[in-house]
Amino acid sequence: MLALEGIRILDLTHLAPGALCTMILGDLGADVVRIEAPPGVGGRGAGLGTSPMGEEGRKQAAFDALNRNKRSVGLNLRSEQGRDIFHKLAKTADVIIEGFRPGVVKRLGVDYESISAINPRIIYCSLSGYGQDGPYSKFSGHDVNYISIAGALNLIGTPDRPPVVPLNLLADFAGASLHGVIGIMAALVARDKTGAGQYVDISYTDGAMSIITWFISQYFSSGVLFKKGETWLHGIYPYYGVYEAKDGKYISIGCVEPWFWENLCRALGKDEYIPYCISPEHFLHKPEGDKWEEISSNLEEVFLTKTRDEWFDFLAEKDVPVGKVYTLDEVFSDPQVLHRHMVVEIEHPTVGKVKQPGIAIKLSDTPGKVRRLAPIFGEHTEEILRELGYTQSQIAELRQSSVIG
């Protein structure tokens, strides 16, 4: 048994944050049905994030972990017959998730109000940059814009330099994808109690603000602004940061607690540095005084005397928080990553063995599973229409009319 077995999700998203959200739900057992516009249908964003097509696309799809455990239906929602099919699907669904700009699904006739009228138990989740209301709700944007408004971007970087643009992890994947999963799961639990569905409004910007709650709380409490590159969290103090090793690779040190810093100092034969551990003012400003510069310079020299992996093995045994700074290709042979099954191999009928990231949420009794690899476009259109009761001749007519793909 899978945790979300029996839950059907209609996925109207077409970008990676939505795909990650529904991937997680699919991994946990939900039947995720991707609703994709046929070629030539749609506005300026048509084709973005669409499943690959034809036999040539199968290899590409096999490695598309974000869309595993999903089925694909090609459906023209701009046609009346396409909307009718979607409404029939919605009657059988538990969750609908979409990632359009506010107002689009209403114009298509597949918005929450329309769907909840035919299925009061539906949970309808919208992912949008600024949320469904407010003065910015109709504005366009991407991760860098949302983390700017949320206050996160100006916390990243070095002093006296422009903010450093990170990968789109904060607003896109943590702010939207993960908060979307949480919102949908919470609404499913609530439905078990009330019998009714509800609307889940997820904003990338709101999610990014939620992630930096600790920093916001500190500002409200003390009124002090964190300055990028000037606190221990930025690696400016020697007990928390990254050092180059003898082989040109890097090691990360996270000795925030005084006892871990003491372990490091003793391991390196630098007992005189033990008193120079974390202090409350380190949360607020960069190091003051020559001693910190001396310690940092000395540690930089020391770490150049062994390779990255030698330091890791040595310091881990000394109970020092240490990490190997991997390139992406190194991650997949790490013994901890492999032990936790965060690399999985799935057999593909034509491609052979395919590697993908594993399932991060570990459930003891109802663990997740990669049940199917990502589909090509419209691979399951006929299968799902037959589930709805359509005959083969009706399906052929809908295909001829470009209602389905």
* Residue where the block lists tokens 């739900």: 25
Hey, what amino acid is at 51?
S
Strands 123-128 and 199-203, sheet pairing? parallel
- Other C-beta atoms closer than 10 Å to the C-beta of 317 total 10
Structure tokens that stand for 405 in this block: 């793909």
- Is the Cβ–Cβ distance between 129 and 140 less than 8 Å? yes
Instruction: Find, among 387, 374, 382, 305, the residue nearest to 57 by Cα.
Output: 374
Burial of 270 (0-12, 13-18, 19+ CB in 10 A): middle
Q: Which residues of 342-375 are buried (b: 16+ CB within 10 A; e: fewer)?
A: beeebeeeeeeebebbbbeeeeeeebbebebbbb
d(CA 212, CA 225): 13
Q: Kindly give, in sequence order, each residue whose CB lies less than 8 Å from that of residue 144, ignoring residues fewer than 6 positions away.
A: 153, 165, 168
Q: Kindly give, in sequence order, each residue whose CB lies less than 8 Å from that of residue 195, ignoring residues fewer than 6 positions away.
A: 121
**Ordered DSSP codes for 215-263:** HHHHHHHH-PPP-TT-SGGGT-STTEEEEE-TTS-EEEEE--SHHHHHH
Radius of gyration, alpha carbons of the chain: 25
The catalytic residue positions are: 142, 172
